[in-house]
Amino acid sequence: MIDYRKKTIAAVLLEVNSIKKKAEKIEALRILCMQNNAVAKVIQWTYHPDIVFDLPEGDVPESLWNATNHGEQGPFYRLINKNEIKNLTTNSIVPSKKKETIFISMLENVAADDAKLMIGIKNKILPYKTLNKKFCMEALPELLPEKNDEK
């Protein structure tokens, strides 16, 4: 079992990613999401088809934000628990230009590895090779419904 206390979310997901056996990785991710709602939200925000971010596509150049060198796990957990990331979606009433400013501010306040994770969430792809959409949908089908294109 992965001990997520006092670790950034990015560090915890990196541990899950490093598990070799698929069944063990699925079990670890499922248990982690049950114990740590923040990890479940990260997976949902990244791969849920109905969550769309109102931010420019692609990576955010590091010249636009100053990465912190602290390893504190707290700032990103607070953003998640306050649901502040939802302010960056297309369903939010926050103006688009303000969303970009808010996002840059978030990147500057979380640990550097969590900032890279946040960019991955925005881009709808986690920065871990095996924690892709297909794997997460298989591991957590209750969090990630398949997109229904019939409308």
Question: Taking the model in full, what pTM does it have?
Answer: 0.88
Query: Has residue 7 got a pLDDT over 60?
Result: yes
d(CA 68, CA 71): 8
Q: Where are the alpha helices (DSSP H) in 18-132?
A: 22-35, 37-47, 74-81, 96-109, 112-122
125 contact partners, CB below 8 Å, separation of at least 6: 46, 132, 133
pLDDT tens readout for residues 122-141:
999 999 999 999 999 999 99
111: helix, strand or coil = strand
**Does the pLDDT of residue 149 top 70, yes or no?**
no
What pLDDT score was predicted for residue 147? 66
d(CA 1, CA 11): 14
For the chain, give every domain's residue range: 9-139
Q: What is the pLDDT of residue 12?
A: 93
Return d(Cα 143, Cα 151) in angstroms, integer. Answer: 21
pLDDT in tens, 64-109: 777 777 667 788 988 898 888 899 999 999 999 899 999 999 999 8
The SS3 of residue 53 is strand
The predicted pLDDT at position 148 comes to: 56
At which residue do the structure tokens 């095996």 appear?
Answer: 130
